[in-house]
Amino acid sequence: MLENVAAVLLDGVHPFELGVVCEVFGIDRSDDGLPVYDFAVVSAEGPSLSTHVGGLSVSTPYGLDRLEEADLIAVPAGNDFATRVHPPALLAALVRAVDRGARVLSVCSGVFVLGAAGLLEGRRCAAHWRHAAELRRQYPHVVVEPDVLYVDEGTVITSAGTAAGIDACLHIVRQEQGPEVANKIARRMVVPPHRDGGQAQYIERPLPKSRCDTVGEVLVWMERHLDEEVTVEQLAARALMSPRTFARRFQQETGTTPYRWILRQRVLLAQRLLEGTDETMDAIADRTGFGTAAALRHQFVRTLGTTPHSYRRTFRGPQAA
């Protein structure tokens, strides 16, 4: 039963990520018939902590002993969490909490604190897409999933950047108190109780440039003719190579196959058209070479984890739908 919640802070904490946890678990909403949590902000490094916002500090009378009774411990993001040495007493407290059945939640770079405590070993975890590579480097035995908003591994829940912490917190409420409570809290916060897709739709992923120009001219031609169906044989002929040689050179220079390269470029073009134009789904499907709106939707969901309509609403507002 989720009753006692603590947000544990380190120096340099990010106020927004802390605010997310406080907003979901720290506000008395009993006037709406919602549960009231025994909530506390806990310091792992003295009674007063700085934040990454100039001139703003956080003070609290609670120390690490407050964590011993918490059902849920949240670790908000902070400055340099990937590189600093974290207090051993905090790491030990987090391990004890998991051992006794409590849950721990990280928001954005707070995941590095859980990693330092050894709580990610053998588990999947979410991370902000900008931190994913460093997290993999530090913890090679952890399965990092940079495309999702959060990952629930039972006692260990990890969320991606900033607002994904809201999704993870509401998920925990939904599990512990049911969807009605989670929906009411979301309504009070004026946020969706559940967001479509993952963070793949927010990641900037330009295709890598060719390391040499053997297939460079063909790449330029392919990008200008995304609406056309082409074969490897046709592309090889443009490059004055045999299909086998062309496919090998293409893989060496781009790191992918011609089919996957074209598919990714088509999705990128569709994203730009959804963000910057009012063209219909059929028109966008035609311009990007997918042919039909159904095919566009299928590849969009497969690549980005969300539909073209949802993507347009996210990046242009509901009036664009």
pLDDT digits 0-9 by tens, 272-285:
888 788 899 999 99
Report the range of poorest mean pLDDT among 149-158, 196-205, 253-262, 279-288. 196-205
Q: What is the pLDDT of residue 237?
A: 92
DSSP string, 86-142: PPHHHHHHHHHHHHTT-EEEEEGGGHHHHHHTT-STTSEEE--TTTHHHHHHH-TTS
Whole-number mean pLDDT of the chain?
88
Neighbour tally for 46: CB within 10 Å: 10
pLDDT of 244 strictly over 70 = yes
Q: Which residue type does 171 have?
A: H
Average pLDDT over residues 275-304: 90
> Is-above-0.85 flag for pTM?
no
pLDDT of 156 strictly over 90 = yes
Q: What is the pLDDT of residue 321?
A: 45
pLDDT of 196 strictly over 90 = no
pLDDT in tens, 50-103: 998 888 999 999 999 999 999 999 999 999 999 999 999 999 999 999 999 999
Domains and CATH numbers, the chain: 4-198 (3.40.50.880), 216-320 (1.10.10.60)
Q: Residue 62: beta bridge partners? A: 42
pLDDT of 16 strictly over 70 = yes
pLDDT of 206 strictly over 80 = no
In what side-by-side order are the strands of the sheet with 156-159?
38-43, 4-9, 72-75, 103-107, 156-159, 150-153
Quickly count helices (H) and strands (E) in the chain.
Answer: 13, 10
Phi-psi region of 156 (alpha: psi -120 to 50; beta: other; left: phi over 0): beta
Angstrom CA distances, 180 to 27, 32, 34, stand at 17, 12, 10
Report the range of poorest mean pLDDT among 9-13, 131-135, 178-182. 178-182
Q: What is the pLDDT of residue 293?
A: 93
Q: Cα–Cα distance between 157 and 129 in angstroms, integer?
A: 17
pLDDT of 152 strictly over 70 = yes
Q: Are strands 48-50 and 38-43 parallel, antiparallel or unpaired?
A: unpaired
Task: Establish how many alpha carbons lie within 13 A of residue 315's alpha carbon, considering only the half-sphere containing its beta carbon.
Answer: 19
Q: Cα–Cα distance between 207 and 166 in angstroms, integer?
A: 31
pLDDT of 136 strictly over 90 = yes
Which comes out higher in pLDDT, residue 255 or 218?
Answer: 218
Inter-helix orientation angle 308-316/258-276, to 10°: 50
